[in-house]
Chains A and B, each alone.
Chain A
Amino acid sequence: MTLVLVADDDADIRDLVAFKLEQSGLEVIAVEDGQAALEQARSRQPNLAVLDVSMPGLSGIDVCRMLRADPVTAGMLIIMLTARVQEHDVEGGFSAGADDYVTKPFSPRELVSRIQALLSRTRA
């Protein structure tokens, strides 16, 4: 089964994403900050991580960079969630090594289709 890590400090959004992904047949680990995301990514090695950019402590961009730097997690698919349309977030996300980014407010349906597109691209 495909395992997806979801990290967002806003509980309502975290539950929203987790619920939608589970309904779409994915297995979900949901965490509320960057440190927990990093730990879960290393121990559970999910196929894909959805990381909110703005989290207290380690930001999504920090986590992304650290995952890419670690050979164990370097190949993980990463989607960033950002609430800012400003270019430094988007470029920051891509330069940290994210595969895609989704801007808040996003549609849960759209997020799932982006996730599935990334998963199928790597499987093909």
Chain B
Amino acid sequence: MHHEELETAKTVFLSTVSHELRTPLTSIAGYVELLLDAEAGELNPAQQRMLEVIGRNTRRLRELIEDMLIAAAIESGEFRTAKRSVDLAGLVETALAEIASAAAAASVRLCAQVYGPLPLDADPDQLDRVLADLLANAVKFTPPAGTVTVTGRRDGDTVVLAIADTGMGIPAAEQPALFDRFFRASNAIDQASPGTGLGLAIARTIVESHDGRIEVRSAEKVGTTVTVWLPAAR
């Protein structure tokens, strides 16, 4: 196969796989939502808890698939951003609602101080990905009774978003490798916490393709703060 044909085949494959994976997930997540909203009748507490577990794990699977697809798109050079007018404050609100049940299950408190609207010219699906990955990390690495705080504000021409946790932190020596694909901190591996090491690499690619910047500050056993700067819409 010629190089160009191979590239086209890869693109078609990615597109097919993403369609084939997302279609059944839409049904699973959608019907679980209907049941949890009691649209098909009241649930007893045990049924409610079981459906919440299904919902949470469906979301996890979905995050994993989205991360894999975007990593594959980056790898094959197919990664593009489709920018339009979006309000980051609204995206944060949605992302917080999405992670709420995982946070509750881990006894982690979510706290938001977002001074919206935060208008951006950006790709909403990609920013969703960044928010979902950063929030999932924050919740995952924060012990019970800890807090994850999301702050968002406008600073002149820039929108500043910070996600701070009171979690296990990242050893200083390992911090430079954080944005490398598949990198996972030694303390995360020691605790056998689940993860692919794709989240931050993807977040950086997305943020940089929006002419933004991402930075991690962390101290072991104190916590981690990820800050993202993005150009505000004019």
Q: Measuring CB to CB, which residues of chain A are less than 8 angstroms from any residue of chain B?
A: 10, 12-13, 16, 19-20, 23, 54, 83-87, 90-91, 103-110
B23: Cβ under 8 A from any A Cβ: yes
Q: How far is the CB of A49 from chain B (nearest CB, A)?
A: 18
B85: Cβ under 8 A from any A Cβ: no
Q: Which residues of B contact A16 (CB under 8 A)?
A: 26-27, 30-31, 34
Count B interface residues, CB 8 Å.
26
* B33 pairs with A109, CB closer than 8 A: yes
Q: How far is the CB of A28 from chain B (nearest CB, A)?
A: 14
Q: How far is the CB of A89 from chain B (nearest CB, A)?
A: 9
> Can you add 13 more A-B contacts, CB < 8 Å, to A86-B78, A87-B81, A107-B33?
A13-B23, A84-B15, A84-B18, A84-B22, A86-B15, A86-B73, A91-B82, A105-B25, A105-B29, A107-B29, A107-B30, A109-B33, A109-B37
Give 4 closest A-B pairs by Cβ, nearest first. Answer: A87-B82, A105-B26, A83-B22, A12-B27
User: In whole angstroms, how far apart are the Cα atoms of A84 and B12 in the complex?
Assistant: 11
User: In whole angstroms, how far apart are the Cα atoms of A19 and B26 in the complex?
Assistant: 14
Q: Which residues of B contact A10 (CB under 8 A)?
A: 23, 26-27
Central interface residue in A54, A86, A107, A109, by most chain B CB within 10 Å = A86
User: In whole angstroms, how far apart are the Cα atoms of A27 and B39 in the complex?
Assistant: 17
Q: How far is the CB of B234 from chain A (nearest CB, A)?
A: 21
B19: Cβ under 8 A from any A Cβ: yes
